[in-house]
């Protein structure tokens, strides 16, 4: 009897190991999932990017396991066009005057001239058998719909892209209300536009708490399904207004905030902006360009908002691990553009300086042992679409303006001559490993040498006309004359 019991126990143990091995093999054979985390207005203000006073342990943990691109640049310093480039893998110069409505302009073309419109990234994955779900702010409008309150099902920003596109609204009642929401359902109006706020309470005081909760709910459901998934979760903070639960602000009570480098307005013509979005908020008569105490307070609130976003990233990643799908899921963390915290006397984005265009990009692939490897190669947002196709072994679309980053990730010694192109409605820029060149519709040009002027404070265009010509030619060779066609 004793020997029979030992035999049965041994058999059960072996069967358990065997079942586990089969399960692991099945997991490995399934197409890889994608978890894409977008964070709004997130400059590389993170510990993993060298900003030591910032508390960002969860993003830093992802960076320590994944691959970090220290010189990632978006293709436009504004939410709408930057997300257009990420979601389509194309620059979208033809919509440069359409500002945050680029995806809706694409919808119009899709109806009138469908042959000129290519599949978006989620459509591409969907056409290859993926379930595609977005939660929060992934396209420009949280939830991905149009209409007065951004909640009209008949007006999707991206038709046929998402199996579901979800925006929990809570006390804010509408997606539009959540976009600039303050605590407890307070929305931005002409009479209620405080630039910063802190309130005691839980994470769900602000919309991101709801977005993260819904994102985790969707992640659990998708991970238990049979099909591969592409799940995009878009967090709104640290976007204006700088509203944050007090417990995150308290983390910075004894933290010394770094002073603003090069806070002066550039001399001569440049892509300088008057920070109109920021200045439209209630600042109680204070101007951070003149009041350094107020400027430091704003930087502290921004830091607290980053830490608030980081907490949600941690919750999402922990949920992924609990489901077991982490073993077969590629994770991307992407900032939709940078944000000036007083550099060049700018508070905001919407310009073509380094601070507005450089943002975090971290890619984690469970098959690769990156262990926090970094690349200083210049890369750009349009590279993300082909990279994810490459990592998931899907065909790479020939219409993408970007290139897969996998060769760089697999070979740190690979020398690349990549450059990043970006634009606003009235300017186009290129960032190489050495220079930034910018041409404005008014005719003036800027040239900065990043090897000895990383702050972009000395315009040397008039001293180096040949370099100006070379970089202008490089832009035209990449994207054509439309790069400087201001009438598009």
From the candidates 79, 305, 351, 389, give the one annotated as an active-site residue: 79
Return the beta strands (E) in 6-89 as ranges: 33-39, 67-69, 72-73
Question: What end-to-end distance do the CA atoms of the chain give, in Å?
Answer: 86
C-alpha of 242 from chain center: 18
Whether the Cβ atoms of residue 382 and residue 90 lie closer than 8 Å to each other: yes
C-alpha of 333 from chain center: 7
From the candidates 140, 141, 239, 337, give the one annotated as an active-site residue: 140
Q: Could you count the other beta carbons within 10 Å of the beta carbon of residue 487? A: 7
* Integer Cα distance of 58 and 311 in angstroms: 7
Assess whether 140 carries a catalytic annotation.
Answer: yes
Residues in the chain, how many? 488
Whether the Cβ atoms of residue 129 and residue 227 lie closer than 8 Å to each other: yes
DSSP letter for each residue of 399-466? T-SS--SHHHHH-TT------EEEEETTEEEEE-SSEEEEEETTS-EEEEETTT-TT-----GGG-HH
Please calculate the CA angle 209-210-213 and round it to the nearest 5 degrees.
90
Closest by CA position to 420, among listed 412, 407, 429, 411: 429
DSSP state of 242: E
Closest by CA position to 298, among listed 217, 244, 352, 369: 244
Residues with a known catalytic role: 79, 140
């Amino acid at each position: 009897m004793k020997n029979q019991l030992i035999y049965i126990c041994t058999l059960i143990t072996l069967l358990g190991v065997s079942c586990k091995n089969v399960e692991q093999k099945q997991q490995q054979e399934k197409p890889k999932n994608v978890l894409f985390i977008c964070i709004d207005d997130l400059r590389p203000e993170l510990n993993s990017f060298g900003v030591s006073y910032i508390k960002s342990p969860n993003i830093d943990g992802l960076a320590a396991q994944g691959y970090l691109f220290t010189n990632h640049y978006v293709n436009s310093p504004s939410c709408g066009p930057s997300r257009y480039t990420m979601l389509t893998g194309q620059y979208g110069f033809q919509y440069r005057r359409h500002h945050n409505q680029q995806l809706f302009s694409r919808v119009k073309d899709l109806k009138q001239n469908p042959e000129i419109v290519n599949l978006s990234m989620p459509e591409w994955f969907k056409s290859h058998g993926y379930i595609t779900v977005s939660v929060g702010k992934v396209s420009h409008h949280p939830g991905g719909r149009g209409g007065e309150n951004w909640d009209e099902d008949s007006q999707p920003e991206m038709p046929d892209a998402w199996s579901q596109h979800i925006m929990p609204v809570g006390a804010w009642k509408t997606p539009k209300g959540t976009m600039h929401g303050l605590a407890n359902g307070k929305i931005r109006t002409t009479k209620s536009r405080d630039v910063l706020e802190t309130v005691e309470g839980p994470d769900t005081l602000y919309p991101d708490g709801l977005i993260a909760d819904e994102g985790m709910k969707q992640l659990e459901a998708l991970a238990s399904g049979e099909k591969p998934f592409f799940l995009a979760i878009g967090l709104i903070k640290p976007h204006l207004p700088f509203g944050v639960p007090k417990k995150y602000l308290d983390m910075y009570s004894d933290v010394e905030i770094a002073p603003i480098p090069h806070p002066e307005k550039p001399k001569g013509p440049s892509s300088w902006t008057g920070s109109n979005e920021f200045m439209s908020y209630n600042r109680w008569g204070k101007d951070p360009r003149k009041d350094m105490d107020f400027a430091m307070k704003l930087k502290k609130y921004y830091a607290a908002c980053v830490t608030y976003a980081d907490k949600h990233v941690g919750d999402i990643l922990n949920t992924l691990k609990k489901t077991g799908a982490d073993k077969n899921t590629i994770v991307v963390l992407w900032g939709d553009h940078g944000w000036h915290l007083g550099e060049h006397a700018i508070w905001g984005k919407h310009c073509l300086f380094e601070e507005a265009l450089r943002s975090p990009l971290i890619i984690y692939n469970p098959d690769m042992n990156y262990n926090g490897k970094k690349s200083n190669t210049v890369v750009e947002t349009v590279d993300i679409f082909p990279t994810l196709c490459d990592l998931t072994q899907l065909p790479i679309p020939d219409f993408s303006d970007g290139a897969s980053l996998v060769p760089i990730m697999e070979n740190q010694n690979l020398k690349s001559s990549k450059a990043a192109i970006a634009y606003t409605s009235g300017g186009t820029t290129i960032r190489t490993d050495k220079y930034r060149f910018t041409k404005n519709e008014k005719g003036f040009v800027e040239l900065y040498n990043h090897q000895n002027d990383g702050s972009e404070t000395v315009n040397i265009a008039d001293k180096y006309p040949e370099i100006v010509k070379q970089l202008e030619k490089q832009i035209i060779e990449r994207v054509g004359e439309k790069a400087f066609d201001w009438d598009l």
